């Protein structure tokens, strides 16, 4: 079972938040799963960006192969929920660095809800068969994990948020994510039409006001 464990805060310094999250993972979660991946917003996003990065702090902790009978620790400050996900890996981020070290580059973490008026099958078809191929065509990501939220996992604690999709993308170098030209295909003349194409596609299956995005770092721990 794949569990996505979400922690939100808005006051801590970014480096202290990251250290607190990694300490919590090593102390309280590492024994619950075969592998743990942490996406944490310890990078200050740029003041101006075509991607509307949020300024509050978030950590998405992914626990792979969790056994249903494990005993979960007391949730930490800012715990927002734990979710069972069905994952796909359109782009596999191959590890060429030491476990526990920061992955090269930077990550884009996106949380969203399904557009109202769509059936679940319509939502999934537009997401899987429409948006995923478009993402692979346009964005130069080095890793892409698509999490469809199946259910809330109440065993880990009381959930305060509901999401339908959680997507993690990795970019290396970081400017592939932060440069609008590089992020939207690498051509100046084609950037604006590509941005419009992506915008229309996203609005076709996502409740657009629900989209939350963060600039993150990734850590893999075993």
User: How far apart (Å, rounded) are the C-alpha atoms in residues 221 and 30?
Assistant: 8
**3-class SS of residue 84:** strand
Q: What are phi and psi of 79, to 5 degrees?
A: -60, 125
Number of domains within the chain: 1
Residue 206: both structure tokens together? 């996502």
Domain that holds residue 170: 3-221
Tens of pLDDT, residue by residue, the chain (222 residues): 999 999 999 877 999 999 999 999 999 999 999 899 999 999 999 999 999 999 999 999 999 999 888 999 999 999 999 999 999 999 999 999 999 999 999 999 999 999 999 999 999 999 999 999 999 999 999 999 999 999 999 999 999 999 999 999 999 999 999 999 999 998 888 899 999 999 999 999 999 999 999 999 999 998
Cβ-based neighbours of 131, under 8 Å, separated by 6 or more: 201, 202, 205
Sign of dihedral through CA atoms 40, 34, 158, 152?
positive
In CATH, what number is assigned to the domain containing residue 110?
Answer: 3.30.70
| Contact status, residue 221 vs residue 99, Cβ threshold 8 Å | yes
Closest CA to 9 of 52, 45, 50, 54: 54
| Contact status, residue 23 vs residue 87, Cβ threshold 8 Å | no
**3-class SS of residue 16:** helix
CA 105 from chain center: how many Å?
15
H/E element, 57:
strand 57-64
| Contact status, residue 166 vs residue 37, Cβ threshold 8 Å | no
């Amino acid at each position: 079972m794949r569990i996505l464990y979400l922690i939100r805060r808005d006051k801590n310094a970014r480096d202290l938040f990251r250290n607190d999250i990694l300490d919590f993972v090593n102390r309280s979660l590492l024994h619950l799963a075969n592998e743990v991946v942490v996406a944490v917003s310890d990078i200050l996003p740029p003041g101006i960006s075509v991607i509307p990065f949020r300024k509050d702090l978030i950590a998405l902790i992914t626990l792979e192969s969790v056994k249903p009978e494990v005993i979960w620790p007391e949730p930490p400050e800012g715990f927002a929920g734990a979710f069972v996900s069905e994952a796909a890996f359109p782009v596999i981020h191959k590890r060429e660095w030491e476990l526990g070290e920061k992955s090269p580059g930077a990550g884009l973490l996106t949380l969203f809800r399904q557009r109202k008026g769509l059936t679940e099958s319509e939502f999934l078809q537009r997401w899987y068969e429409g948006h995923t191929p478009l993402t692979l065509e346009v964005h130069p990501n080095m890793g892409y994990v698509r999490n469809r939220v199946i259910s809330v996992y109440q065993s880990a604690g009381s959930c305060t948020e509901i999401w339908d999709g959680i997507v993690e993308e990795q970019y290396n170098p970081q400017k592939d994510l932060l440069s609008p030209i590089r992020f939207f295909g690498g051509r100046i003349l084609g950037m604006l039409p590509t941005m419009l194409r992506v915008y229309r596609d996203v609005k076709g299956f996502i409740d657009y006001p629900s989209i939350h995005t963060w600039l993150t770092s990734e850590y893999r721990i075993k």
